[in-house]
Amino acid sequence: MKFPSQDGDAGLASLTTESANPVAAGLDARSALEIARIMNSEDRKVPEAVGRALPAIARSIDVIAESLKRNGRLIYVGAGTSGRIAALDASECPPTFGIDPERVQYLMAGGVKALGRAAEYNEDSRPAGRKDMAGRGPGRRDVVVGVAASGRTPYTIAAVEYARRRGAMTIAVVCNGNSELGRTAEIEIVAEVGPEVVSGSTRLKAGTAQKLILNMLTTGAMSRLGYVYGNLMVNVSMRNQKLNARAAMVLERAAGADSKTARETLAQAGQSVPVALVMLKTGATRAKAESRLKQAKGNVRQAIEMK
């Protein structure tokens, strides 16, 4: 199944992510060590490209934090590699920050099945992008982040357009400047990483840049909301032995408690790390600690410092 291109082969050829990289010429004839050295050298350019986008990233962090604070949602949308990276970041937020999965979502061109099997033809469908986004009912409290290395993916552009018309705040994460997706969104984050080692394979530098940016967006927003304490995962979900041990370790570090006290307080707190931490730091009962957290809307530091 094919859909018409929005600007033809000429438009694709003009993208820096599609250009030939002279450093990687004759890659197939290089030794394994040479290939690794070339890729490592090119990958070093990614943090610099992301660094140039930090002002837009910071603005986006504040926008996302404010949206989540107002009980809004963060909705990622993408196709191919970009969609898979967005899905990964969204999926990691609940276990890392204890946030409801409904609050951080993703839309993938081709649906969930496209996460594990290539279905890139879906990315050319604007109607599918609009339909899928309409199904999420975006509104004024939500933030929609379109992720596309090229900045020209019809599915993603249409989804972002729809969300913006419905009042959602929109952000574009792209790796080419002056893109249609960038013009469609209210905030544009551009990480121009240059040509890939394998021409057009944006799972490489562009994908790495997108991963770094999405890491910053969610980690930054969750930190602003107080879903971490210091740099500790106080909202970690205790679902296996490793996470149980991590929860106790968080309390030991954050509250200066010994292992026995940390585990006993966790039990008293119903295995809730935030509740246990508030109890340890303030001497409050479980009920009082829960009340403080509710008043602080889950912000652990505010709950501890509350008068």
What residues are annotated to the active site? 92, 123
CB atoms within 10 A of CB 174: 32
Spell out the residues 6+ positions from residue 263 whose beta carbon is closer than 8 angstroms to its own. 248
| Residue that the structure tokens 């969300």 belong to | 163
Structure tokens at 212: 């770094």
Question: Which of 182, 130, 197 is CA-nearest to residue 151?
Answer: 182
CA distance 25 to 140: 48
Q: How far is CA 16 from the centre of its chain?
A: 24
Under 8 Å between Cβ of 254 and 234:
yes
